[in-house]
Structure 1
């Protein structure tokens, strides 16, 4: 098996049909239209128009103008407009797929992850009343420690504390007592 085929197989194995189905249903509910029968998830999203429509419903005016006609470059520009709008909405850069992930179907799992990240981000926007996709992000991770637990934490010494002293001394002795003879 060639390296390219192995990489494609690994990426394809990351795809989760259940997550794709959930993402598709979420998009369909928001846009109030079904994906056409016989058209795959990635084919329907490929030109970026559906994605621009989606972000415009979630965040009105996020993509004021997108391309409905034109060649490959114009359609890839739609994907870029969607990506920028997602980031402006609050989706972390690391959660946004690369254009080739969708356009060349290189990593559809990452496209689905972006939709889930967008779905989670909608929880943080009170103007959005749903539907939502994915679990609600936590607002805080509050912890209550007793006075006894706090005092116990003060007695713990970090793993590296005091451990590099010997390394420094050993480094100073490297080469000590050796003679280097060049040419004879």
Structure 2
């Protein structure tokens, strides 16, 4: 258990975020192996970002964007597709639990 704790401290000092790492008991008592795998992938991403051979996808880089006040006002009138759309086929008119009337 002590070696696992030293490994986690080493990962943190290498630059891996604490939120990506697992707890010692997760590995020692085989409790949360999913979080262990997440932690190992986070270490692999950090190693890849530092020029070493890593595993998993590349670590993302910061991409700040700045908009003018005019661009912000123009975007206020746009309805996002998360709210839905009225274009294309929809499920309007479906009747669940009723028979389908195919004869007049």
Instruction: Decide whether the 8 Å contact of 2:48 with 2:55 is kept in 1.
Output: no
Larger helix percent: 1
The answer for the alignment partner of 1:87 in structure 2 is: 12
Q: Is residue 102 from structure 1 mapped to residue 33 from structure 2 by the alignment?
A: no
Deviations 1:61-80 (A, max 9, x none): xxxxxxxxxxxxxxx11101
How many correspondences in the alignment? 77
After TM superposition, the score normalised by the length of structure 2 is 0.62
Residue 143 of structure 1 and its aligned partner are, at CA, apart by: 3.5
TM-score, length-scaled by structure 1: 0.37
The yes-or-no answer on 1:140 pairing with 2:62 is yes
Q: Which runs of 5+ in 1 are unaligned?
A: 1-75, 156-184
> What's 1:61 paired with?
none
Tell me, yes or no, if structure 1 residue 118 matches structure 2 residue 71. Answer: no
Higher RCO (CA < 8 A, seq sep 6+): 1
Task: Kindly name which structure, 1 or 2, has the bigger radius of gyration based on alpha carbons.
Answer: 1
1:134 Cα offset (Å): 1.4
SS of the residue corresponding to residue 22 of structure 2 reads coil
| Structure 1 residue 149 displacement after superposition | 1.4
